A and B are shown apart, each in its own frame.
Chain A
Amino acid sequence: MAESKQNHFIKLLLILSGFIVIQTAVGFLSGLREFQYYGRIVYLMEINVILTVSLALVNGFTGQFSLGHAGFMAVGAYASTAVTTLLPKLICGNPLSAASPADHAIFVAAVLAGGAAAGVFGIIIGFPSLRLRGDYLAIVTLAAGEVIRAGLRFSDFLGGPRGIPGIPAFSGAFYVGAFFLLSLWMMRNFAYSRYGRACVAVRDNEIAASCMGVNATVQKVSAFALGAFFAGIAGGLFAHMSRYINPDNFGFLKTLDILIFLYIGGTHGIAGGIVGAGIFTLVPECLRLANLDAWRMVIYPLILILVMRFLRDGVMGEREFSFLIPWKFKEMVRNRNQSNRQVPPQRREDRKEEKSKEPRP
């Protein structure tokens, strides 16, 4: 069922305008007091999607295992807050108030600066540590995240362990929605670009990729830095939504949350990040509404364990939303999926194992 180019773009346009309509409606509704909470859930969902997909760039596409994502989020959050809250307080006594267009321009610049700062941290941490593999990389990135958090606790200028209160509430429907679309668009473009495909090659077989002329280190570090950049942007948005941040918001548990989103959704594409973060931001809130508040954090990891046991590649597996695939690559993806289907199912090996386990007569 080959899709015409026109249909593809019409579909994309429809989905885009649908998103804009919904986002506008959410923006209006969350202005009302009784819907404020639901509006926040939607924004949180979008921020979590950015975080999850940015982690997918490292853990999914490039096949590395980073456990320090919350650290980059913290860098983004603190850097952007420094620009919008701390510096104005220092210079003219009170933080920005979202009153004039100039303030809004500063906010956008602040979020981007937060992303850039996180990206720089990503390069600084990624360059030495990406020489390591597998478990060791996981621990070093975990350590890096914790060191960032400890550093934030130290610095008196950034509030120390008490954190920063009174951040202006910039992150509304417009900014969260806009940054959400922009980041997804950019990450998708990266994933299908020459660099993104080189990253996938590094994941599949590093030695073979090097033989094809791919510089593995450069690919890994660039994916890592880009992931950190978008995590920083998500951090900036988060800080201006929750209006209060402290270093413990960005501890190991936050990283674990993002990892759970990613691995439940599936690491092979952007769709996995969207589905994982989307559903699993909602699930705890639904459990909260169902008065299962205490149980929600128990069910959460249980689902992760079950998904790892029975689904292997997460809910989405190798699938991707078709509107997320650039037109140029549709053919390629379809061919790849078809050739994947012709491969005999992998379960055969498991069955063999089961048979051999039967006790001999």
Chain B
Amino acid sequence: MSSYLLQQLVNGLQLGAIYALIALGYTLVYGVIKLINFAHADIFMVGAYVAFFAASFYAGSAAFPPQLCVLAALALSYLITAVLFERFPVRKLFRIASLPGGARLHAIAENAAKLLCITAVTCAAAPLLLVLSRALFSTHNGLLFFPLLVLYVMALCALLGVVMERIAYRPLRRRKRLSVLITALGVSYFLENFCSLPMVFESKYRAFPDLLKRVDILRVPGFDVSISNMFVINLAVCGLLLVLLWFLVEKTLLGKRMRAVAFNHDAAALMGIDVDGIISLTFVIGPALAGASGILYAMNYGVLQSPFLGFAPGMKAFIAAVLGGIGSLPGAVIGAFIMGVSEVFANSVDSNLGFAAAFIILMLILLVKPTGILGKSEQEKV
């Protein structure tokens, strides 16, 4: 019996590593702009799908899908255009805005120029991306492939995150928090349904190619507990990314700025910190981690059901973040491992219980200690 429990514990930790990477994204974004980013789970889903496409191309079972590159190029060109037009305002070049009726003319001209720029960059970048991705994943070296895959997926997810923040969340910065929350729900719903379109990812069962056979590499003597290579990979990827994140947040100037913005936007701005830039940075880091988690998920489960697959793991990871105290990074990791272990134990009692257990845990925490394990309570002022 004890070996059975121990084995479940091992499985729970393996699952917890996946949740930890997602939960960090939730907690980072919440810490910085106090938004529950419901679309985070869908970025995780996109990560899993990108990993699937890259892996099946590598395994030789499918061609690399061009639509993925077109979408990525579109996002990239939007980002490039937005940054370009922010750095070099066209109004300084043309000076038509000062003419009578020029403001409207200028707006039209600017938008036309933006559209042109987006189209041009997309047309240039899409084939380039396709060639690049094909070259990247035509390697036959398994040891090289996996890190490449992780970096590639993380980069694409980060791109998606930044573009999402710019389009949907940034214009609502000064609004009530609830309207941003509703927009986040809308973005999540949009991503799920958009990815379900037949021309994008298509909603059907997809078997993830066997990148590596699941092998038990270690048997604990005395107990009947086996540790598989999947467990090692999960914990290694998770641990590596955690160390990197810890280093970034605690040891670099960028991390210090991030902590300052999380503490107080206005005060940080007065200290000369580019608040919008830091917020964009959190939308780079969080989605990148979610993308890495998506790879692990796809490898562990071996099947992608539909673009709605992000909901359940996303919800559990979010609960993990709340359990650990939302806004606290170590809290999110602790919460994620607790969630992973408790889910595995609940599932071993009854397979229906896993999902419900997560929500029951959530209700209990929020009713008993809403700030979570490591969260700080905020005093409300009149």
User: In the assembly, what is the distance between CA of A151 and CA of B357, in Å?
Assistant: 11
From A135, A144, A298, B181 is in contact (CB under 8 Å) with: A135
From A128, A139, A161, A207, B362 is in contact (CB under 8 Å) with: A139
Interface flags for A175-206 (1: CB within 8 Å of B; 0: not) read 00000000000000000000000000000000
In chain A between 16 and 70, which residues have their CB closer than 8 angstroms to a CB of chain B?
A: 65
User: In the assembly, what is the distance between CA of A259 and CA of B188, in Å?
Assistant: 14
Q: In the complex the two chains form, is B356's CB within 8 Å of A146's CB? A: yes
Q: In the complex the two chains form, is A300's CB within 8 Å of B189's CB? A: yes
Q: In the complex the two chains form, is A153's CB within 8 Å of B352's CB? A: yes
User: In the assembly, what is the distance between CA of A135 and CA of B174, in Å?
Assistant: 17
User: In the assembly, what is the distance between CA of A132 and CA of B368, in Å?
Assistant: 11
From B177, B179, B315, A134 is in contact (CB under 8 Å) with: B177
Asked whether any CB of chain B lies closer than 8 Å to the CB of A140, the reply is yes
Q: In the complex the two chains form, is B89's CB within 8 Å of A305's CB? A: no
Asked whether any CB of chain A lies closer than 8 Å to the CB of B311, the reply is yes
From A146, A207, A301, A350, B187 is in contact (CB under 8 Å) with: A301
In chain A between 244 and 259, which residues have their CB closer than 8 angstroms to a CB of chain B?
A: 252, 256, 259
Q: In the complex the two chains form, is B356's CB within 8 Å of A301's CB? A: no
Asked whether any CB of chain A lies closer than 8 Å to the CB of B223, the reply is no
Q: What is the minimal beta-carbon distance from B2 to any residue of chain A, in angstroms?
A: 29
From A65, A161, A353, B178 is in contact (CB under 8 Å) with: A65
Q: In the complex the two chains form, is A305's CB within 8 Å of B190's CB? A: yes
What's the dominant secondary structure at chain B's contact region? helix
Asked whether any CB of chain A lies closer than 8 Å to the CB of B197, the reply is yes
From A135, A259, A295, A353, B36 is in contact (CB under 8 Å) with: A135
User: Given the complex, which residues of B lie within 8 Å of A312, measured CB to CB?
Assistant: 175, 179
Q: In the complex the two chains form, is B89's CB within 8 Å of A140's CB? A: no
State how many residues of chain B have any CB contact under 8 Å with chain A. Answer: 42
Asked whether any CB of chain B lies closer than 8 Å to the CB of A308, the reply is yes
User: Given the complex, which residues of B lie within 8 Å of A305, measured CB to CB?
Assistant: 168, 183, 186-187, 190
User: Given the complex, which residues of B lie within 8 Å of A256, measured CB to CB?
Assistant: 185, 189
Asked whether any CB of chain A lies closer than 8 Å to the CB of B182, the reply is yes
Asked whether any CB of chain B lies closer than 8 Å to the CB of A13, the reply is no
Asked whether any CB of chain B lies closer than 8 Å to the CB of A138, the reply is yes
User: In the assembly, what is the distance between CA of A207 and CA of B311, in Å?
Assistant: 37
User: In the assembly, what is the distance between CA of A161 and CA of B355, in Å?
Assistant: 14
Asked whether any CB of chain B lies closer than 8 Å to the CB of A169, the reply is no
User: Given the complex, which residues of A lie within 8 Å of B188, measured CB to CB?
Assistant: 301
Q: In the complex the two chains form, is B190's CB within 8 Å of A143's CB? A: no
Q: What is the minimal beta-carbon distance from B122 to any residue of chain A, in angstroms?
A: 20
User: Given the complex, which residues of A lie within 8 Å of B382, measured CB to CB?
Assistant: 207
Asked whether any CB of chain B lies closer than 8 Å to the CB of A9, the reply is no
Q: In the complex the two chains form, is B366's CB within 8 Å of A301's CB? A: no
Asked whether any CB of chain A lies closer than 8 Å to the CB of B93, the reply is no
Q: In the complex the two chains form, is A298's CB within 8 Å of B359's CB? A: no
In chain B between 156 and 189, which residues have their CB closer than 8 angstroms to a CB of chain A?
A: 168, 171-172, 174-175, 177-179, 181-183, 185-189
In chain A between 298 and 315, which residues have their CB closer than 8 angstroms to a CB of chain B?
A: 298, 300-302, 304-305, 308-309, 312
Q: In the complex the two chains form, is B311's CB within 8 Å of A252's CB? A: yes
Q: What is the minimal beta-carbon distance from B381 to any residue of chain A, in angstroms?
A: 10
Given A140-B362, A301-B190, A309-B171, A263 and B182 touching (CB < 8 A)?
yes
List 10 additional A-B contacts (Cβ < 8 Å) besides A140-B367, A304-B186, A305-B186.
A139-B362, A140-B366, A143-B360, A143-B362, A144-B359, A144-B363, A153-B352, A295-B197, A309-B168, A358-B89
Interface residues of A (CB under 8 A from B): 65, 128-129, 132, 134-136, 138-140, 143-144, 146-147, 150-151, 153-154, 161, 207, 252, 256, 259-260, 263, 294-295, 297-298, 300-302, 304-305, 308-309, 312, 349-350, 353, 358-359
Interface residues of B (CB under 8 A from A): 34, 36, 89, 92, 168, 171-172, 174-175, 177-179, 181-183, 185-190, 193-194, 196-198, 311, 315, 318-319, 322, 352, 355-356, 359-360, 362-363, 366-367, 370, 382
